[in-house]
Amino acid sequence: MYLPFYGLREKPFHVTADPAFFYPSAAHREALSHLRYGIQERLGFLAITGEVGTGKTTLAKALLREAGETARTALILHPTLSPAQLLRGVLEDFGEPAPAAASRGRLLSGIERFLLEQAEQKRACLLVLDEAQALSPQALEQLRLLSNIETPREKLIQIVLLGQPELEKRLTTDPRLRALNQRIAVRFRMVPLPAEEVAPYIRHRLKVAGRETAGPDLFTGEAIAWIARHSGGTPRRINLLCDQALLAGFVREADRIDVPLMEEALGMVAPEEAPVTV
Domain extent, residue 262, equals 4-21+194-267
- Over its length of 278 residues, how does the chain's per-residue pLDDT go in tens digits? 899 999 999 999 998 888 899 999 999 999 999 999 999 999 999 999 999 999 999 999 999 988 877 899 999 987 788 999 999 999 999 999 888 888 999 999 999 999 999 999 999 999 999 999 999 999 999 999 999 998 888 899 999 999 999 999 999 999 999 999 999 999 999 999 999 999 999 999 999 999 987 667 999 999 999 999 999 999 999 999 999 999 999 999 999 999 999 999 999 886 654 334 44
Question: First CA to last CA across the chain, in angstroms?
Answer: 23
Q: What is the CA radius of gyration of the chain?
A: 21
Which helix (H) or strand (E) covers residue 205, if one does? Answer: helix 195-208
pLDDT of residue 185: 94
CATH code of the domain containing 214? 1.10.8
pLDDT of residue 26: 93
Helix (H, G, I), strand (E, B) or coil at 28: helix
CATH code of the domain containing 128? 3.40.50.300
Looking at the structure, tell me whether residues 173 and 238 fall in a common domain. Answer: no
pLDDT of residue 171: 95
Looking at the structure, tell me whether residues 209 and 141 fall in a common domain. Answer: no
Q: Does residue 274 sit within a domain? A: no
Looking at the structure, tell me whether residues 43 and 174 fall in a common domain. Answer: yes
Looking at the structure, tell me whether residues 83 and 157 fall in a common domain. Answer: yes
pTM: 0.88
pLDDT of residue 269: 85
Q: What residue type is assigned to position 138 of the chain? A: Q
Looking at the structure, tell me whether residues 111 and 134 fall in a common domain. Answer: yes
The one-character DSSP state at 273 is P
Query: Are 244 and 265 contacting, i.e. CB atoms less than 8 angstroms apart?
Result: yes
pLDDT of residue 278: 46
pLDDT of residue 214: 60
Helix (H, G, I), strand (E, B) or coil at 185: strand
Q: Does residue 226 sit within a domain? A: yes
How many structural domains are present in the chain? 2
pLDDT of residue 121: 92
Helix (H, G, I), strand (E, B) or coil at 192: coil
pLDDT of residue 215: 67
Query: Are 219 and 82 contacting, i.e. CB atoms less than 8 angstroms apart?
Result: no
